[in-house]
Amino acid sequence: MESSTKSSKSIKIVSYTLLFLALISALSGVVIMTDIGQIFGIDKSWIIWYFSNRTMIQVISLLLFVAAVFLLNREKFLSTKVIVIIGVCWLGAMVASKYLTPYLMFRSQQHDSTYISIAEATDYLNDDDRVLVVDHNGVQKAYPPEVIWQAHIFGGDFGGEQVVFTYCVMTNLASPYLNEIDGETVDFKVLAQVNNNLLIWDTKSDEIIQQITQKCEFSDYKLDPLPVLEMTWGGYKKLYPQGTVLYKAWDDVVEKMIAAVFSTEDTWHGEDWMFDTANLDDKRLPSKEHVIGYRDDDKNEQLAVTKTYIKKHGVSNLSVGDKRIALVYFPEYETIVAFDRMKDGVELEVDEIDVFGNTPNHGKLKRVYIYNSVLWGVWAEYYPETKVLQ
């Protein structure tokens, strides 16, 4: 009798241990792969590790759970009702770790983006609303941050080339890319965010891209973003009267729920951060100052320039590592544009230029990508050695 009691106790300990491990392994995915983890400052390496081993972790969790349920049911340690409830919770955690962020909360619109003409957008935007603009192959599309922050990823045809537009609301950063990684088309989804910046998942290659660095996590490949302009809606209408704008009706239940609890105003302004993982120690600028960022990875040099500095100088001829750019403010369109000052191997000094890059003495200069209105706290987190012009 005593031996039987000890055996029953041992089986009970084993069954509950198996159940505990099954639940912990399932819940760990929810914490690591959703914004919950950012509350605790989960490092990117954890996200990469879990993502890389997700199938193995889920199989192990399943085996642990099945073994636990078998013992708990056979020995009548728990009622069928309780086991079912626990099973539903376990399954919910397993599903949430894989599908919650990319498929429910932040659903990519890469393949079903809708654009309307300026004439159709009469009541859609106000003239002082902010838009992010891609001008490529003679096609112009505007993306209002207040509209695009929830889905993060959009697609569009630009004169026969597909462009994938990514936007991180926590960083206030837009990065448009041609639809390819190393020659293969992509299918981008939001995987997670870390240190207040987007991690993008290409479901075709299983590659992960850190948006602010444009670096792929599993290869040496680095994405090359297209130039993106920030301006007012009124400026866009003057500059690109034939352009279109991304349209979202915001009639989805999930979108409405997120919008009800999320404030873009608080995200882009003030000093309070939803996730305390930005660089708040670098006091050279307010943590949510909207700056223009530029970098030369080969020389490991970065520069952040305040909009006040750029507007004061009008045309700023700058050097970052071996790169030479001109940052130019166009008040008539309320936009800042960057141009490459190197042409045919010669460094140019720009003093007069139009918004399209035409100069009176040097022909047409090429627009280049800048981190347009990136929040200082995130920029300083990823590039702590950055120089600053203010």
What is the structure's pLDDT at 17?
A: 96
Q: Which amino acid is at 96?
A: A
- Condensed to tens digits (0 to 9), the pLDDT of residues 101-150 reads 999 999 999 999 999 999 999 999 999 999 999 999 999 999 999 999 99
What is the structure's pLDDT at 209?
A: 98
The answer to whether 150 touches 258, Cβ cutoff 8 Å, is yes
3-state secondary structure of 300: coil
What is the structure's pLDDT at 2?
A: 57
Beta strand segments in 144-247, E: 153-158, 161-168, 173-178, 188-194, 197-202, 207-210, 215-216, 229-232, 244-246
What is the structure's pLDDT at 252?
A: 87
Give the whole-angstrom CA distance, residue 365 versus residue 110. 31
Query: Which token pair is 232?
Result: 């007012």
Question: Which residues on neighbouring strands pair with residue 69, listed in sequence order?
Answer: none
What is the structure's pLDDT at 263?
A: 94
Query: Contacts from 276-280 at CB under 8 Å and sequence distance 24+?
Result: 276/41, 277/38, 277/41, 277/194, 277/195, 277/196, 277/381, 278/195, 278/196, 278/375, 278/377, 278/378, 278/380, 278/381, 279/377, 279/378, 279/380, 279/381, 279/384, 280/377
Segment-wise mean pLDDT, segments of 10 residues, the chain, 390 residues: 70 95 96 94 96 96 96 91 96 95 95 97 96 98 96 97 98 97 95 97 97 96 97 98 95 89 94 94 97 97 98 98 98 97 96 97 96 98 98
What is the structure's pLDDT at 4?
A: 61
What is the structure's pLDDT at 9?
A: 87
Residues 6+ positions from 17 with CB-CB distance below 8 Å:
none
As a whole number, the mean pLDDT across the chain is: 95
The CA distances from residue 190 to 174, 204, 357, in Å, are 14, 14, 34
Domain-wise residue ranges, the chain: 2-105, 115-268, 290-389
What is the structure's pLDDT at 8?
A: 82
Give the whole-angstrom CA distance, residue 271 versus residue 252. 31
Q: Which amino acid is at 75?
A: E
What is the structure's pLDDT at 297?
A: 95
